[in-house]
Amino acid sequence: MSHSVELIDVEQAFGDVKAVHHFSAHIAGGEFFSILGPSGCGKTTLLRLIAGFTEPTKGRVLIGDKDMAGIPADRRPTAMIFQSLALFPLMPVWENIAFGLEARGVPKAQRRKRAEELLELIALPGYGDRMVHELSGGQRQRVAIARALAVQPQVLLLDEPLSALDLKLRQHMRAELRALQKRTGVTFIYITHDQSEALAMSDRVAVMSAGVLQQIATPQELYANPATPFTARFVGETNAIVGTVRGIEGGLATLTTAEGRFTGRAGPGLTDGARATIFIRPEAMALSRIALPNSLNAITTSLEYEGASAMLCARSEHGQELLAAVPNRQLAEAPGQGEQIWLSFAPEEALILAEEGQPA
């Protein structure tokens, strides 16, 4: 089993700017762990801190239960894959892959042999003598991974490595990365701003916003039970209606909003009278021609066909934008544009979360 990574109350400041606040996480050995957040949220800083390119201003980084303070990047059991890949353009592929071995003084014949093995692993046998610029985007990607794996790292750090690829290739590489991780058993820490990427590959995901950790959870948990309004909005599509809590009972809360009264599951730490938002996923919305409990009246504005389902967009009379997923088999009965409809949802499928900065 490869090494675990433990971050204890890590903080990173650049001058007056705090890029990371009090970040704590335990990443198990052999886990595929993603850090998800919009650009500028501090996730790359966090990764560089684990790699040892920067030292944290406060807090500790442990890799394999060993404190990394004062240990520079070249002596940590990590390897990093950069957003730009940072392959060496003037070396052939095999020398790129074997670079870490060269740094460790491995004799040339052995380096070459190991490079060939890794080329097999990434399904590029016989590519050793090509130059980097002769490879396609996806092939370069794989070479960068092989180069990192060659030094047999305990932890592989990946900084949005798929962002330069086109959609089709990106989806293919996701599966490949996941398979590779399973095969090698190396701990992966993966940084991305693309939530579908994080959900598809990871064992667990940490969501970050403005340097602050929002939640660490499995993808399913993250989607079903977001801990903060930020997570609820950032992960997946959702309907969000702001209001005030009026009564909590047996795990359910009632919220009064400009659109009416709604009942949903009470999120953690929700208190009566607090300002809160109710989140309803589009697929939880049901369409009807009559008013039901927990329903909103709206006029459809568009219907966008997305293949497996269609996304119905509507606007309430107060201007609230609403989304509802319409499964294919119901498409025939879907309302036309400008039609008056009701959108309803079951209380168990809605989640009410306290807004930040409000008394909780």
Partner 1 sequence: MSNIRPITPLDRLARALPKVLFAAYLALFIAYLFMPLIIMSAATFNASKFPTVTPWLGTTLGWFRELWNDAAMWKALWLSLGIGLAVVAFALPVGTAAALFLTSLNARARGIFYAVMVSPLLTPGVAIGIATLILWRQAGVAGGTFLIVMAQATFITAYVMLMVVARLQRFDRTQEEAALGLGASKWMIFRRVLLPFLKPALIAAGFIAFLQSFENYNTTLFVRGTDTPLTVYIATKVRTGLTPAVNALALILIALTLVTALVLELNRRRKER
Where along the sequence are the contacts to partner 1 (CB under 8 A)? 51-53, 72-75, 78-80, 82, 84, 86-91, 99-100, 102-104, 147-148, 150-151
Terminal Cα-to-Cα distance of the chain (whole angstroms): 42
Residue nearer to partner 1 on the CB measure, 97 or 287:
97
Residue nearer to partner 1 on the CB measure, 44 or 263:
44
Q: How far is the CB of 101 from partner 1 (least distance, A)?
A: 9
Residue nearer to partner 1 on the CB measure, 102 or 349:
102
Residue 293, SS3 per DSSP: coil
Question: Which token pair is 141?
Answer: 């990607």
Q: How far is the CB of 78 from partner 1 (least distance, A)?
A: 7
Count of positions (residues) in the chain: 360
Dihedral of the alpha carbons of 250, 267, 318, 291, in degrees to the nearest 10: -40
Q: How far is the CB of 87 from partner 1 (least distance, A)?
A: 8
Decide: 81 and 156 in contact? Cβ < 8 Å.
yes
Segment (H or E) for 33: strand 32-36
Dihedral of the alpha carbons of 220, 225, 228, 232, in degrees to the nearest 10: 70
Decide: 45 and 11 in contact? Cβ < 8 Å.
no
Q: Report how far residue 217's alpha carbon sits from residue 223's, in angstroms, rounded to the nearest whole number.
A: 9
Residue nearer to partner 1 on the CB measure, 96 or 231:
96
Q: How far is the CB of 252 from partner 1 (least distance, A)?
A: 50
Q: How far is the CB of 237 from partner 1 (least distance, A)?
A: 34
Residue nearer to partner 1 on the CB measure, 115 or 150:
150
CA 204 to the chain's CA centroid: 9
Q: How far is the CB of 233 from partner 1 (least distance, A)?
A: 32
Locate the DSSP E strands across 82-203. Answer: 155-159, 187-192
Residue nearer to partner 1 on the CB measure, 147 or 265:
147
